Structure 1
């Protein structure tokens, strides 16, 4: 390095920056502006915004899977399809069979108003349901010990051939499985977002180190250690990552809050969002982004400084 290069640098300012441990000291050797700063802040904000939605998806599908599993696990329906002149007698027979079946806590014949509400999403509110040959539905609540579904099904086939026992297993299990896999997909997306954030911050840190090669050589000439130089970059990029992530998190939470309210569809509450204390989970995203920025920048800086001597 020539004398002109040395004179062009404020060695006193650099030394004061290395000697002072606060945020306005050591990391002053890193340029506060430039494309690396903008890239770090923008990428951290964008990834935090996406992380909020991935977290909302994971939590919402988790709630949905638990609700479907708990609400339908102990619900069984008996469907009675018979001619109009026989349906009343067969309904009475079904109710007597259910009363004498061990493991059934309650059996209730659904009134026509509830049946109409079940059919409303498909036929609309103005559909003349009375004109349709709608079967009778009997709702069964299991006791904690449960009942023998196969034995009850055989008994109904013998005494009331028009009655069909439906324990909702055929369509409940696929729905619960799909909701559970969506939850895992949400958490996996969070891991991918964290990995992508670390990669982008690493690239930005390497670019900043390469752009400040002259500063790094001068710092070594005046006795600065690699760990001290790396600390300057780590502080700057950690703060940038945390600041950008905080802004992206706030925007993401506002976007989730602005989503339409949960609506009732098909008898289940659905909707993407946070509930109750769940709104506190996104606040951990800036903390995680700062930790990722710290680890990525420290690793990249030390590795690059060892390679460049």
Structure 2
């Protein structure tokens, strides 16, 4: 590793950098070149890019869980399966029972075209509904006050033995649970990305301090305190982390924006991306990256300066 030449920083420059309190003056005591600059910029940009996708995943799965939970909670299905000569009578009995059940806002028999569309992902298009023993499906919407599902099941058993009430609980709960776990995974990924960013910035700061050992010794000879030397490195690495994270965030948002939307896929899927005010959340990533860079560099600089006397 090549160390910077002392002649690149004369005593006059060092003194101006130590006596001026602004960032431009303090940065003069740190050589501007070196692989640590590129390392910090690249790592901050890469982590910010990944953070945008982790944030988009967390938001998208959160929307998906809320959508499944809200839409499927109020909709239920009555499945009627009976011999061909009895199915119409049982469907009419079910509709009569639903019309007189308090707490049901709407009930309708799904037409064959809609049933065929529901089965298309599994059996393909042009499914011959009339030639298959497919049960009749009755969709009902629960009112705000709700209804007694167990009482309705008992009533259907007596009036229409081939009717079965399905409240979608068996498959709705695993889907909602999976979406919530994906959201937790996205948030955990953000935490891992922040930790990895802090670790890489810490390593880069230590490498910069080690490479500039000669400069640090001269700074101490002219009366610089460790906090002053550390501040110069902290400011420079904080700015690099913020700039790199800003670039990675912009690239990540452009990549998210370029993704194809799947919101219209049967009204069931929610695309990976941001919606509305969610587009403002990635703006926080460069701010968090700058804070991580500040804390990591300050800790690494002060600890290393205490060890090297």
Q: CA deviation at 1:8?
A: 7.7
TM-score, normalised to structure 2, is 0.94
Residue 139 of structure 1: SS of its match in structure 2? strand
Partner of 1:248: 248
Alignment match, 1:268: 268
CA distance in 2 between partners of 1:7 and 1:149 (Å) = 85
Inter-CA distance 110–7: structure 2 relative to 1 (3 Å threshold): closer
User: Within 1, Cα distance between the matches of 2:108 and 2:86?
Assistant: 19
> Which residue in the other structure is 2:115 paired with?
115
Aligned partners of 1:209 and 1:301 also within 8 Å = yes
Per the alignment, do residues 89 and 9 of structure 1 end up closer, same or farther by CA in structure 2, a change over 3 Å counting? closer
Shift of 1:239: 0.6
Instruction: Name the structure 2 match of 1:43.
Output: 43
Instruction: Tell me the equivalent position of 1:28.
Output: 28
Runs (4+) off by over 3 Å: 5-9, 263-267
Partner of 1:196: 196
Unpaired runs of 5+ residues, structure 1, are: none
SS of structure 2 residue aligned to 1:137: strand
The alignment's TM-score, normalised by the length of structure 1, stands at 0.94
**Per-residue deviation at 1:173?**
0.3
* Shift in CA distance, 266/121, structure 1 to aligned 2, threshold 3 Å: farther
> Is 1:121–1:266's contact at 8 Å kept on the other side of the alignment?
no
RMSD: 1.6
SS at match of 2:28: helix
Q: 1:9 to 1:75 in 2, by over 3 A?
A: closer
Q: After superposition, give the CA deviation of every residue in 1:39-91 in whole Å (9 maximum; x if it has no partner).
A: 10111011011101100100000000000000001111001111221111111
Given the superposition, is the C-alpha separation of residues 215 and 133 from structure 1 closer, same or farther in structure 2, using an over 3 Å criterion? Answer: same
Paired residues of 2:74 and 2:142 also in contact (CA < 8 A): yes
Task: Quote the residue 1:205 is aligned against.
Answer: 205
Q: Does the aligned pair in 2 maintain the 1:104–1:143 contact within 8 Å?
A: yes
